[in-house]
């Protein structure tokens, strides 16, 4: 599960763009790997020629066009990880995000937060914070990642999140987040 977060991070490295948020302070730190994809890149993805007979590809392109930003920050540095946690906690207090779900196992702690969207099936922001990563086989630039912060913004349809998780190799737990209990 955590392996997919790191694989996604590696896969999206070349797609870096620019945007500003409270989390951008981590982008230029030496011990942080970062990926920032802005709306223009998602628009470009949406304009790519796809096989119109493939409904999954079409759905993925629709999802991509509805996104306005993706930011992923990962570090192995414990001090930076603590700063990330403090920044996430501060952001949660000042924003209208609410906890969607938590996953805790021996290898990591994962928390998902969302900001309400236009209806109960849509959110305008999805924040994932993964800490305490252990026993993961994937490394980034020969670094064993300890903490990952992911922020996804736009008009996110939770009913279609399964398509996004499968196409981008995001954690399967993200798919569970889209299912209302």
Any idea which of 11-20, 53-62, 64-73, 137-146 has the lowest mean pLDDT? 11-20
pLDDT band at 14 (very low <50, low <70, confident <90, very high): very low
Is the model's pLDDT at 82 over the cut of 50? yes
pLDDT digits (tens, 9 = 90+) for 17-46: 333 578 888 988 988 988 888 888 887 776
Q: How far is CA 105 from CA 29, 109, 131, 177, in A?
A: 29, 6, 11, 17
pLDDT band at 163 (very low <50, low <70, confident <90, very high): low
pTM of the predicted model, to two decimals?
0.73
């Amino acid at each position: 599960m955590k392996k997919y977060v790191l694989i996604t991070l590696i896969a999206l490295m070349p797609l870096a763009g620019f945007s500003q948020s409270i989390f951008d302070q981590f982008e230029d730190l030496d011990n942080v790997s970062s990926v920032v994809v802005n709306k223009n890149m998602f628009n470009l993805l949406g304009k790519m020629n796809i096989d119109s007979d493939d409904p999954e590809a079409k759905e993925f392109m629709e999802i991509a066009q509805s996104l306005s930003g993706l930011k992923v920050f990962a570090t192995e540095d414990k001090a930076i990880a603590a700063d990330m946690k403090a920044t996430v906690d501060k952001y949660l207090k000042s924003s209208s995000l609410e906890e969607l779900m938590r996953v805790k196992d021996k290898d990591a702690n994962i928390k998902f937060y969302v900001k309400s969207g236009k209806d109960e099936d849509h959110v305008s922001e999805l924040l994932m914070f993964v800490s305490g990563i252990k026993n993961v086989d994937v490394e980034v630039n020969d670094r064993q990642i300890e903490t990952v912060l992911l922020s996804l913004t736009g008009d996110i349809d939770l009913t279609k999140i399964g398509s996004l998780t499968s196409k981008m190799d995001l954690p399967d737990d993200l798919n569970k987040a889209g299912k209302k209990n």
